[in-house]
């Protein structure tokens, strides 16, 4: 018979038991072990910030990444970084979409259906690197290895150079559309000609009173746009002496020109000539407060102001006014911009602009021209500059002739970025092994046999020697803000692995066990520098500060005064630029310009950037053709009508944007769209303006004259709806009271 416990009785027993249990001396505390362990620094709900470097363009701005529960959530500018001073541009802000892009490669792959088949099969990392190592061992001569880089971070560039040197192969060829459009190679050549410097000149925009910008879109994509925009803000409202005077010489009203006080639409390719005319007036009339111009008279001996006026369409009177404005200011500076590099007279045009700074004695003066101070450590001496087009052509020629057995590609996408006549895609078929390190399947990676995806920049290590570095020497360090999302591998680590498996001279030249060991050793070279913003007693301490602050820079601004090695021999001249296409058949000059959002096309896979309106046209998600209202009326087309733009080499169709800020004889098309690959947001959208470019190459410096293509425009009597921010009802001329 069961003993029944009454409710009252049960409660008595329970109360007693709990008292006994409460008195028990042996309560064990056991921590619960979750299956997934969060990173140690993480507190749920609290953000951790990591300093690193933006890699959306080569400028090297410092970023801090907000990480919550091990995931990167927001990117901000690093407030202590001397280059961007806490600021970031649209592209920098969109960096999360590189990391979290839905179309990233998640592991190493081999293309199994032949090149261009886009049938990829996962491959083990060990197997893939072994394949590459044995290919490098088996090449019939060390010169038969090629490395093509785009905007490669400085540390990787240095490693690659060492690797190829030890291998006995020619150095890397660095070529990408962004540096072509900003005139990277030309800016280096200019600094070399005038000052014997390997570094690009720095223009002190923040302290200038008068800025004459010759095709320099310094608020958009040229050199270091965030740093320059910051300085522009200072020039406008931060100085005590007034709001500055900015004049922009270029055929299209770019965003920078829209911020200028005067936009002067001179014919394409005559910008340098205008600079020459202004210099002649300054010297002839002995303008400015710099003493005698007698020594400069020789420079301008052959310049006729009348001829300049005729070629540029500016009156002599206007030229004189401009010359006086430039010469009368205490702090004036002339910028030789990227647009000048797009013509056959590139070097002479840029010389003519730089001459203005020289005759006004603006070298090494506040608001003038400077050279960067070198980083005081050998590990950061950066020998590799963007290669001139000539070097790239040579590589293509070698590939075509079957003299390249292995081609490695990192950060470059020439199949997309170059017109077909350059022959890169065709030459690629003669290379037995093509290896890409791209984290995405872009047009060039689609032609590779093997893709060994690098980490994206928020997952990887590195550093960038900022050039230009603003007002002081800057090395911006890069560290992972998050663990790699996928089974990708740092290209530097792949190279080090290759080096150790190749053995011999190569493994001696690259003795580091991994990328981090190399970076640690490099950073330690700055230990004990007297100018650094921080120092430490041990290399380990230094390395930790280096990562914490996001790099190394000097406490105070340090710049070098450029010394003109002697003015150019003989008088300055700017020959007329050559153009491809007969003016009667092809009446317009094509102006390809770099999109502020998509850059040279590398931003097209980020939909934040795709939906960002272009500042001038407010259009997005597509390619468009900008026509002067008079030109559009003459062709009988208006907004959203599709036109066919035909060059001597190719044609494309795109909708019209009637654009009041462009010369009637010029047609402008932005870069960035027209991808065949590169993920769901980029592929099959718009057209690629670079397809239209005709082969005009400046003989002397072998620069691709991308501005020298003439086109005709045909109406095709169809229209589309171009997505844009503004309504077409008011044509942007409504007024807000």
Partner 1 sequence: MAKVAKPSAESAATGTSRRWAMVVDLDRCTGCQACVVACHAENNIPIVGEEQAGYGRWMHWIIIQRYWEGEYPNVKARFMPVMCQQCTQAPCEPVCPVFATYHSPEGLNAQIYNRCIGTRYCGNACPYKVRTFNWFRPEFPEPLPEQLNPDVSVRSRGIIEKCTFCVQRIRRAELDAAATGLTLADGEIQPACVQTCPPSALFFGDLNDPDSRVSQLARSHRSFRLLEDLGTGPAVIYLKGGETNV
Q: Which of residues 20-49 bind partner 1 (CB under 8 A)?
A: 45
Helices (H), 503-593: 504-509, 515-524, 539-549
What is the contact mask toward partner 1 in residues 451 to 490, using x (rule: CB under 8 A)? ----------------------------------x-----
To partner 1, the closest distance from the beta carbon of 257 in angstroms equals 8
To partner 1, the closest distance from the beta carbon of 242 in angstroms equals 7
Cβ closest to partner 1, residue 244 vs residue 462? 244
Contact between 725 and partner 1 (CB under 8 A)? yes
To partner 1, the closest distance from the beta carbon of 237 in angstroms equals 6
Contact between 107 and partner 1 (CB under 8 A)? no
Among 239, 259, 500, 507, binds partner 1 (CB under 8 A): 259
Cβ closest to partner 1, residue 311 vs residue 395? 311
Among 94, 152, 173, 335, binds partner 1 (CB under 8 A): 94
Q: Within positions 584 to 643, which residues make up the interface with partner 1, using CB under 8 A?
A: 596-597, 607-613, 615-616, 618, 620-622, 628-630
To partner 1, the closest distance from the beta carbon of 134 in angstroms equals 35
Measuring CA to CA, which residue among 274, 279, 255 is closest to residue 264? Answer: 274
Dump strand ranges (E) for 337-454: 369-372, 406-410, 433-436, 450-451
To partner 1, the closest distance from the beta carbon of 133 in angstroms equals 32
Cβ closest to partner 1, residue 34 vs residue 730? 730
Contact between 344 and partner 1 (CB under 8 A)? no
Token readout for 431 is 């290379």
To partner 1, the closest distance from the beta carbon of 281 in angstroms equals 15
343 and 693 in contact (C-beta within 8 Å)?
A: no
461 and 484 in contact (C-beta within 8 Å)?
A: no
To partner 1, the closest distance from the beta carbon of 621 in angstroms equals 4
DSSP letters, 97-116, are HHHT-TTB--S-EEE-S-TT
Cβ closest to partner 1, residue 131 vs residue 676? 676
Stretch that binds partner 1, among 34-42, 241-249, 391-399, 645-653 (CB under 8 A): 241-249
The residues, ordered by sequence, that sit 6+ positions from 31 with a Cβ below 8 Å of its Cβ are: none
To partner 1, the closest distance from the beta carbon of 594 in angstroms equals 13
Contact between 64 and partner 1 (CB under 8 A)? no
Contact between 59 and partner 1 (CB under 8 A)? no
To partner 1, the closest distance from the beta carbon of 513 in angstroms equals 31
Stretch that binds partner 1, among 27-35, 366-374, 473-481, 660-668 (CB under 8 A): 660-668
The alpha carbon of residue 293 and the mean position of all alpha carbons in its chain are separated, in whole angstroms, by 39
To partner 1, the closest distance from the beta carbon of 367 in angstroms equals 15
Contact between 110 and partner 1 (CB under 8 A)? no
Contact between 242 and partner 1 (CB under 8 A)? yes
What is the C-alpha separation between 448 and 112, in angstroms, rounded?
10
3-state secondary structure of 636: coil
Among 42, 68, 116, 374, binds partner 1 (CB under 8 A): 68
Token readout for 717 is 């009597």
Q: Within positions 197 to 216, which residues make up the interface with partner 1, using CB under 8 A?
A: 210
Cβ closest to partner 1, residue 369 vs residue 616? 616
To partner 1, the closest distance from the beta carbon of 228 in angstroms equals 8
How does 68-86 read in b/e, with b if 16+ C-beta sit within 10 Å? eeeebeebbbbeebbbbbb
How does 258-268 read in b/e, with b if 16+ C-beta sit within 10 Å? ebbeebbbbbb
Contact between 55 and partner 1 (CB under 8 A)? no
Among 54, 65, 88, 369, binds partner 1 (CB under 8 A): 88
Phi, psi of 590 (to 5 degrees): -85, 130
Contact between 87 and partner 1 (CB under 8 A)? yes
Among 58, 60, 225, 419, binds partner 1 (CB under 8 A): 225
Give Cα separations from 146 to 167, 394, 431, 658 (angstroms): 11, 11, 10, 45
692 and 647 in contact (C-beta within 8 Å)?
A: yes
Measuring CA to CA, which residue among 395, 399, 408 is closest to residue 435? Answer: 408
Contact between 74 and partner 1 (CB under 8 A)? yes
Q: Within positions 677 to 706, which residues make up the interface with partner 1, using CB under 8 A?
A: 680, 685
Measuring CA to CA, which residue among 707, 650, 58, 705 is closest to residue 389? Answer: 705
Q: What is the dihedral of CA 105, 111, 112, 113, to 10 degrees?
A: 110
Cβ closest to partner 1, residue 26 vs residue 735? 735
Q: Contacts with partner 1: how many residues (CB under 8 A)?
A: 92
- 271-284 and 305-312 helices cross at what angle (nearest 10)? 150
To partner 1, the closest distance from the beta carbon of 255 in angstroms equals 5
What is the C-alpha separation between 386 and 411, in angstroms, rounded?
13
Dump strand ranges (E) for 438-593: 450-451, 462-465, 474-478, 551-553, 559-560, 588-593
Among 78, 97, 444, 456, binds partner 1 (CB under 8 A): 97
Cβ closest to partner 1, residue 22 vs residue 45? 45
- Strand partners of residue 72: 67
What count of other Cβ atoms lies within 10 Å of the Cβ of residue 382?
A: 18
- Strand partners of residue 711: 588, 647
Stretch that binds partner 1, among 71-79, 277-285, 402-410, 466-474 (CB under 8 A): 71-79
Contacts 24+ apart (CB under 8 A), 230-239: 230/84, 230/85, 230/87, 230/206, 231/204, 231/205, 231/206, 232/205, 232/206, 232/259, 234/206, 234/207, 235/205, 235/206, 235/207, 235/208, 235/211, 238/206, 239/207
42 and 69 in contact (C-beta within 8 Å)?
A: yes
Q: What is the CA radius of gyration of the chain?
A: 29
Size (the chain), residues? 737
Contact between 722 and partner 1 (CB under 8 A)? yes
What is the contact mask toward partner 1 in residues 525 to 554, using x (rule: CB under 8 A)? ------------------------------
To partner 1, the closest distance from the beta carbon of 627 in angstroms equals 11
Stretch that binds partner 1, among 4-12, 32-40, 572-580, 659-667 (CB under 8 A): 659-667
Among 662, 689, 690, 705, binds partner 1 (CB under 8 A): 662
Contact between 729 and partner 1 (CB under 8 A)? no
358 and 722 in contact (C-beta within 8 Å)?
A: no
Among 128, 152, 191, 219, binds partner 1 (CB under 8 A): 219
Cβ closest to partner 1, residue 111 vs residue 228? 228
What is the contact mask toward partner 1 in residues 299 to 338, using x (rule: CB under 8 A)? ----------------------x---x-------------
Which residue do the tokens 């087309």 mark?
Answer: 637
Contact between 253 and partner 1 (CB under 8 A)? yes
- Strand partners of residue 735: none
Stretch that binds partner 1, among 29-37, 219-227, 502-510, 546-554 (CB under 8 A): 219-227
Among 14, 126, 517, 723, binds partner 1 (CB under 8 A): 723
669 and 623 in contact (C-beta within 8 Å)?
A: yes
Cβ closest to partner 1, residue 87 vs residue 365? 87
To partner 1, the closest distance from the beta carbon of 357 in angstroms equals 19
The residues, ordered by sequence, that sit 6+ positions from 566 with a Cβ below 8 Å of its Cβ are: none
Among 176, 182, 199, 220, binds partner 1 (CB under 8 A): 220
Cβ closest to partner 1, residue 524 vs residue 722? 722
């Amino acid at each position: 018979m069961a003993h029944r416990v009454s409710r009252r009785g049960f409660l008595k027993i329970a109360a007693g038991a709990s008292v006994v249990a409460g008195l028990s001396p042996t309560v064990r505390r056991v921590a619960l072990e979750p299956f997934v362990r969060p990173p140690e620094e993480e507190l749920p709900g609290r953000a951790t910030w990591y300093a690193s470097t933006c890699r959306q363009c080569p400028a090297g701005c410092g970023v801090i990444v907000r990480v919550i529960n091990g995931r990167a959530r927001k990117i901000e500018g690093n407030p202590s970084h001397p280059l961007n001073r806490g600021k970031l541009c649209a592209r920098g802000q969109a960096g999360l979409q590189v990391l979290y892009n839905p179309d990233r490669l998640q592991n190493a792959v081999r293309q199994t259906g032949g090149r261009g088949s886009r049938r990829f099969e996962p491959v083990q990392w060990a197997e893939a690197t072994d394949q590459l190592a044995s290919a490098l061992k088996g090449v019939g001569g060390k010169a038969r290895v090629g490395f093509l880089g785009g905007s490669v971070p400085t540390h990787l560039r240095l490693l690659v150079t060492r690797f190829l040197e030890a291998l006995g192969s020619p150095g890397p060829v660095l070529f990408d559309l962004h540096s072509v459009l900003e005139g990277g190679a030309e800016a280096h050549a200019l600094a070399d000609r005038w000052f014997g410097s390997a570094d690009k000149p720095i223009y002190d925009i923040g302290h200038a009173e008068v800025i004459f910008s010759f095709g320099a879109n310094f608020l958009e994509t040229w050199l270091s746009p965030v740093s320059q925009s910051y300085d522009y803000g200072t020039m406008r409202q931060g100085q005590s002496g007034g709001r500055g005077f900015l004049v922009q010489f270029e055929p299209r009203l770019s965003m920078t020109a829209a911020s200028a006080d005067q936009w002067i639409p001179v014919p394409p390719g005559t910008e340098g000539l205008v600079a020459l005319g202004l210099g002649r007036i300054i010297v002839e009339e002995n303008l400015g407060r710099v003493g005698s111009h007698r020594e400069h008279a020789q420079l301008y001996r052959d310049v006729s102001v009348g001829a300049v006026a005729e070629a540029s369409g500016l009156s002599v009177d206007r030229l004189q006014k401009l010359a006086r404005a430039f010469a009368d200011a205490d702090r004036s500076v002339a910028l030789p911009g990227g647009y000048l590099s797009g013509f056959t007279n590139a070097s002479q045009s840029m010389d003519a602009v730089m001459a203005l700074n020289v005759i006004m004695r603006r070298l090494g003066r506040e608001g003038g021209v400077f050279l960067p101070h070198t980083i005081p450590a050998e590990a950061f001496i950066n020998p590799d500059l963007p290669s001139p087009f000539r070097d790239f052509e040579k590589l293509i020629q070698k590939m075509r002739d079957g003299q390249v057995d292995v081609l490695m590609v990192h950060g470059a996408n020439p199949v997309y970025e170059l017109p077909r006549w350059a022959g890169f895609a065709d030459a690629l078929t003669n290379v037995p092994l093509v290896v890409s390190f791209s984290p995405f399947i872009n047009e060039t990676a689609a032609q590779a046999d093997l893709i060994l995806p690098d980490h994206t920049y928020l997952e990887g290590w590195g550093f960038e020697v900022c050039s230009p570095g603003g007002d002081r020497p800057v090395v911006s360090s890069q560290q992972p803000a998050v663990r790699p999302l996928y089974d990708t591998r740092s290209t530097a680590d792949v190279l080090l692995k290759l080096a150790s498996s190749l053995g011999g001279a190569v493994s001696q030249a690259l003795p580091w066990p991994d990328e981090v060991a190399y970076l640690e050793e490099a950073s330690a070279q700055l230990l004990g520098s007297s100018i650094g913003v921080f120092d430490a007693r041990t290399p380990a301490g230094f390395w930790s500060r280096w990562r914490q602050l996001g790099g190394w820079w000097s406490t105070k601004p340090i710049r070098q005064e450029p010394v003109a090695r002697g003015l150019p021999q003989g008088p300055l001249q700017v020959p007329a630029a050559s153009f491809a296409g007969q003016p009667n058949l092809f009446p317009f000059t094509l102006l390809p310009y770099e999109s502020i959002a998509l850059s040279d096309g590398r931003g097209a896979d980020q939909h934040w950037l795709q939906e960002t309106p272009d500042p001038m046209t407010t259009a997005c998600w597509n390619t468009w053709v900008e026509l002067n209202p008079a030109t559009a009326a003459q062709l009988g087309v208006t907004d959203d009508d599709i036109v066919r733009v035909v060059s001597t080499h190719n044609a494309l169709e795109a909708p019209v944007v009637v654009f009041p800020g462009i010369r009637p004889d010029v047609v402008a098309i932005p870069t960035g769209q027209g991808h065949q690959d590169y993920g769901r947001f980029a592929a099959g959208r718009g057209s690629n303006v670079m397809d239209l470019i005709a082969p005009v190459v400046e003989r002397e410096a072998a620069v691709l004259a991308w501005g020298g293509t003439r086109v005709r425009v045909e109406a095709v009597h169809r229209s589309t709806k171009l997505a844009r921010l503004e309504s077409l009802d008011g044509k942007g001329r409504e007024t807000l009271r």
